[in-house]
Structure 1
Amino acid sequence: MHAEILRPVVVLIGWSLVMLAWVIATRLPAMRAAGVDLARLVGSKASDADAALPPHIQWKAHNYNHLMEQPTLFYAVCGVIALTGTGNGVNAWIAWAYVALRIAHSLVQTTVNRVQPRFMLFLASTLALAALTLHAALAVF
């Protein structure tokens, strides 16, 4: 039997891939419209795209980058929780809350990009991550 906590892990990975597809689907046409030639592009960085592309296009890329940051801690702590046999019950529910909050954060950032609701969602998801980290620590120490 697997730990229930692995399900929200897989969902967040899947969501990250959805966001990557959205980045590609919006960014490539915007780059063409801006006259950016991928064949001639050498050694660019994120700030170059921020200068060349409309903000609402870049919001998706920024969010994808965010999904590659703090959620890596989520994946690690969920692995610890699953390995210690404590990945069911309350820990699974907290993990689902984390995933729901991160998806909501993505939707806010990629559409209206209002900082206050984004921050509140980020804060709430960080508290969920902190709770999972505490539970992992209790399981291993």
Structure 2
Amino acid sequence: MIELIYPMVTLVILTFVVLFAMGIGRVRAIKGRQVSIKSFVLMEGKAQLSPRLQQMDRNFSNLLEIPVLFYLWCLVIMVLQIQDDLLLNLAWVYVGMRLIHSVIHITYNNVNHRFMVFVLSCLLLLVMWIQLLIAAS
């Protein structure tokens, strides 16, 4: 199901948006002398960054952790050439949840809200893998 490329690319774009925002923020912090560029040699300068930049840094890491299982899930479906609209819809819901998680994380960062969306997205991903097994059999 080649249509899965769209939710995959959407999540990749979100990851790059967070990466570029984080990079721009770091450059500004260095130019504003809030942190030394030398602090990034071994990344010990993260603690000196503003809370917002720390949030972006952590969110970027989040976007490279569990979503790897989403990308793999999409690739397995495409390789097996499974045609199932439910799987495509689940993929879009997952990407939407990751977007909501990122918005919460890099804006008002309410841990309860962020954690709830994170847990729900992880549970959804588990359901997606189970649904893949069902569709493949």
Task: Name the TM-score, length of structure 2 as normaliser.
Answer: 0.89
The residue type paired with residue 42 of structure 2 is: S
Asked if 1 retains the 8 angstrom alpha-carbon contact of 2:8 and 2:71, the reply is yes
* Structure-1 residue corresponding to 2:86: 90
1:18 partnered with 2:17: yes
Show CA shifts across 1:81-112 (max 9, x none): 12222254000000000000001100100011
Structure 1 distance, partners of 2:61, 2:135, is 31
Unmatched tracts of structure 1, length 5 or more: none
1:50-87, Cα deviation, whole Å (9 max, x unpaired): 32111112111110111010111100011111222225
Q: CA deviation at 1:41?
A: 4.8
Match of residue 30 from structure 1? 29
Q: 1:42, 1:60 → 2: CA distance?
A: 16
Corresponding residue number in structure 1 for 2:63: 67
Matches within 5 A, 1:1-141: 2-33=1-32, 34-36=34-36, 38=37, 40-41=38-39, 43-45=41-43, 48-140=44-136
Name structure 2 gaps, 5 residues minimum. none
> What's the CA shift for 1:4?
1.9
Q: Percent identity?
A: 29
RMSD over aligned Cα atoms: 1.8
